[in-house]
């Protein structure tokens, strides 16, 4: 195992060094082995069936390649990739069934219309194509992908519910509902008002600790040892290497054009001048080259460690001592924490969790500031502390929970009192004054709002909307639980949308409602076809059908 990893590691670092010098663009190929495994898993001997006929090899490969382009650098679970590949096969089948063929003229018009920089209006198709080529995608594959997106649009035009099914009355009703305002008065019951009444007895504290002991159990923790090969030690050598590149200027220009001028901004978000952007690209290349050089030393160190038998984590310290390299030791940390000293390593907790006695240390791990090799020095198992060890924390938790429960009890009692008082004809304001409580008139809100400036932090807008728009004017809500206790709201009025607002919002709302109905129609149709095709039954476990029948991607804009 270690020998295999060591050979892989040597090749890996050789490729990294070459890639740093050759290209400034991210390498798409990292997804390809993953997709090949998906194709293999779907296409062993039996590639499955669609509507009873066998799926052909080229269908599977085309669909998998299209999914790879859509995924980009994202990683997805294999079962999701399987589903998306089958969805593309179903779409292709429907393109053939409905005779949808995208001509060269349609392709050219689509590119002319939609492949433009939104800031400048400049055509960017060539830039996107060059970036795709740098990611291992051929021009033919990329154009086929674009054709499939256009075909997807045509398919939607055929099967979606006609827009005229949405009547003006439906649109107007939707606008009025969305713009109706709720005017409410809230009475808050805060835990902080009940802290003084909490009875903190030894028996009560002990029972609370016993009932909630799982929450005080310490997590499994690790102590890691590591060696670091700083990239800063190689900046001078990297500068010399980069400076000698004969076509450095051309490469910087290519990278700049590939990313686009708007991708380079200063700390305030303002676009950088081209000269400053090129300088930044050169600095990025310098740092990547320095990291790659540090990686060569890390790989040599790793190979020496991997030669020692038996395989143990302590072998890192043995090689470090022989090479006079300092070993660093972390403080104990849980798997969800990023340990001090290893902050620049992403997902280090997951990486270490995958180690075991047969592979007790990592391969060289590149980061922005250098390359690391990390081993687990000690595993500290989870443990249950005594009450005395966590008394201060338990006391604070007990006071907070008890005072919160008291606040909610008071709020529920007020709700009951208010319900009876309002039924007998007493006004809400009179009841609040009689109970010597403070009432707060909240800012008006609609059911469509996602933010409400001025809303007190104790209130949650989503819960507030649920309560207010389920009541009639003059009614009081049940207790709404909050972080600090709870609150009760009284609906003073549901104010209809003004005619001016309705008139102004109606055209846009009509368009959006029609689009929503159309998407719903396509979603239902595709979901039915997904089941009828037999593809869903061939996936194990069966994925959940998503927003467009399955997870079918939206067409390009």
Quick: pLDDT tens for 45-54.
Answer: 457 889 989 9
Rounded Cα gap, residues 200 and 205, in angstroms: 7
Residues 309 and 194 in one domain: no
Residues 204 and 275 in one domain: no
Residues 348 and 441 in one domain: no
Domain that holds residue 140: 2-163+515-538
Q: Average pLDDT for residues 457-467, to the nearest whole number? A: 93
Q: Are 488 and 477 in contact (CB under 8 A)?
A: yes
pLDDT per position as a tens digit, 360-404: 899 999 998 999 999 998 889 999 999 999 999 999 999 999 999
Residue with tokens 């599977």: 60
Q: Are 54 and 47 in contact (CB under 8 A)?
A: yes
Tell me the CA end-to-end span of the chain in Å, nearest whole number.
Answer: 48
Residues 212 and 273 in one domain: no
For residue 173, tell me if it sits in a domain.
no
Please, which residues have CB within 8 angstroms of residue 200's CB and are 6 or more apart in sequence? 395, 398, 399
Residues 151 and 202 in one domain: no
pLDDT of residue 337: 81
pLDDT of residue 9: 40
For residue 554, tell me if it sits in a domain.
no
Q: What's the token pair of residue 347?
A: 């997902």
Residues 146 and 257 in one domain: no
Q: Are 55 and 89 in contact (CB under 8 A)?
A: yes
For residue 546, tell me if it sits in a domain.
no
pLDDT of residue 75: 67
pLDDT of residue 418: 96
Residues 341 and 225 in one domain: yes
Report if pTM > 0.85.
Answer: no
For residue 503, tell me if it sits in a domain.
no
Contacts 24+ apart (CB under 8 A), 507-516: 509/171, 509/174, 509/175, 509/178, 510/166, 510/168, 510/171, 513/166, 513/170, 513/171, 513/174, 514/163, 514/166
- Domains in the chain: how many in total? 3
For residue 394, tell me if it sits in a domain.
yes
pLDDT per position as a tens digit, 158-178: 886 554 556 777 778 888 888
Bond before 541 cis per omega within 30 degrees: yes
Residues 393 and 358 in one domain: no
Rounded Cα gap, residues 540 and 557, in angstroms: 33
Q: What is the CATH number of the domain that holds 421?
A: 3.10.50
Q: Which residue has the higher pLDDT, 5 or 450?
A: 450
For residue 172, tell me if it sits in a domain.
no
For residue 505, tell me if it sits in a domain.
no
Q: Average pLDDT for residues 288-314, to the nearest whole number? A: 91
Task: Using CB atoms within 10 Å of the CB of residue 392, give its burial: 0 to 12 exposed, 13 to 18 middle, 19+ buried.
Answer: exposed
Residues 458 and 476 in one domain: yes
Provide the Cα torsion 282, 287, 288, 293; round to 10°.
130
Residues 364 and 489 in one domain: no
Is 88's pLDDT higher than 60? yes
For residue 169, tell me if it sits in a domain.
no
Residues 237 and 212 in one domain: no
Residues 362 and 309 in one domain: yes
User: How sure is the predictor about 348, in pLDDT bands with cuts at 50, 70 and 90?
Assistant: confident
């Amino acid at each position: 195992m270690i020998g295999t990893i060591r050979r892989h590691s040597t090749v890996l670092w050789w490729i990294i060094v070459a890639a740093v010098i050759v290209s400034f663009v991210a390498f798409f190929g990292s997804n390809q082995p993953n997709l090949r495994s998906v194709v293999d898993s779907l296409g062993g001997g039996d590639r499955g069936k669609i509507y009873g006929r066998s799926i052909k090899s080229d269908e599977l490969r085309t669909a998998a390649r299209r999914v790879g382009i859509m995924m980009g650098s994202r990683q997805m679970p294999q079962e999701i990739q399987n589903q998306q590949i089958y969805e593309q096969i179903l779409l292709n089948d429907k393109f053939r069934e409905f005779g949808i063929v995208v001509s060269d003229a349609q392709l050219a018009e689509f590119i002319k219309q939609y492949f433009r920089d939104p800031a400048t209006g400049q055509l960017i198709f060539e830039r996107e194509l060059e970036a795709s080529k740098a990611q291992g995608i051929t021009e033919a594959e990329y154009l086929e992908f674009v054709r499939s997106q256009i075909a997807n649009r045509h398919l939607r035009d055929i099967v979606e519910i006609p827009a005229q099914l949405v009547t003006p009355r439906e649109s107007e009703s939707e606008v009025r509902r969305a713009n109706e305002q709720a005017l409410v008065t809230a009475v808050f019951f805060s835990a902080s008002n009940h802290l003084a009444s909490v009875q903190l007895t030894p028996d009560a504290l002990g029972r609370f600790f016993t009932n909630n002991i799982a929450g005080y159990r310490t997590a499994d923790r690790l102590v890691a040892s590591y060696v670091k090969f700083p990239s800063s030690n190689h900046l001078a050598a990297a500068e010399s290497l980069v400076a000698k590149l004969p076509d450095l200027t051309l490469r910087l220009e290519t990278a700049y054009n590939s990313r686009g001028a708007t991708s380079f901004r200063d700390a305030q978000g303002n676009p950088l001048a081209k000269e400053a952007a090129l300088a930044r690209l050169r600095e990025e290349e310098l740092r990547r080259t320095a990291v790659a050089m540090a990686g060569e030393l890390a790989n040599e160190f790793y190979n020496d460690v991997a030669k020692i038998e038996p395989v143990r984590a302590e072998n890192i310290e043995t090689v470090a001592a022989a090479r006079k390299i300092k070993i660093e030791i972390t403080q104990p940390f849980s798997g969800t924490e990023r340990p001090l000293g290893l902050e620049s390593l992403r997902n280090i907790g997951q990486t270490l969790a995958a180690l075991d006695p047969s592979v007790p240390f990592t391969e060289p791990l590149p980061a922005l500031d250098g390359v690391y090799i990390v081993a687990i020095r000690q595993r500290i198992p989870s443990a249950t502390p005594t009450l005395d060890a966590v008394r201060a924390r338990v006391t604070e938790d007990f006071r907070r929970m008890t005072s919160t429960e008291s606040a909610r009890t008071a709020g529920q009692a007020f709700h009951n009192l208010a319900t009876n008082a309002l039924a007998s004809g007493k006004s809400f304001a009179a009841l609040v004054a009689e109970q010597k409580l403070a009432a707060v008139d909240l800012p008006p809100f609609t059911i469509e709002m996602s933010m409400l400036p001025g809303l007190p932090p104790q209130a949650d807008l989503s819960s507030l909307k649920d309560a207010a728009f389920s009541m009639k004017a003059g009614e009081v809500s049940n207790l709404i639980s909050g972080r600090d206790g709870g609150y009760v709201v009284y609906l003073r009025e549901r104010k209809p949308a003004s005619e001016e607002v309705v008139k102004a919002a109606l055209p846009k709302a009509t368009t959006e409602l029609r689009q929503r109905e159309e998407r719903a129609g396509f979603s239902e149709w595709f979901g039915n076809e997904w089941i009828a095709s037999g593809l869903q039954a061939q996936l194990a476990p069966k994925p959940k059908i998503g927003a467009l029948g399955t997870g079918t991607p939206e067409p390009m804009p």
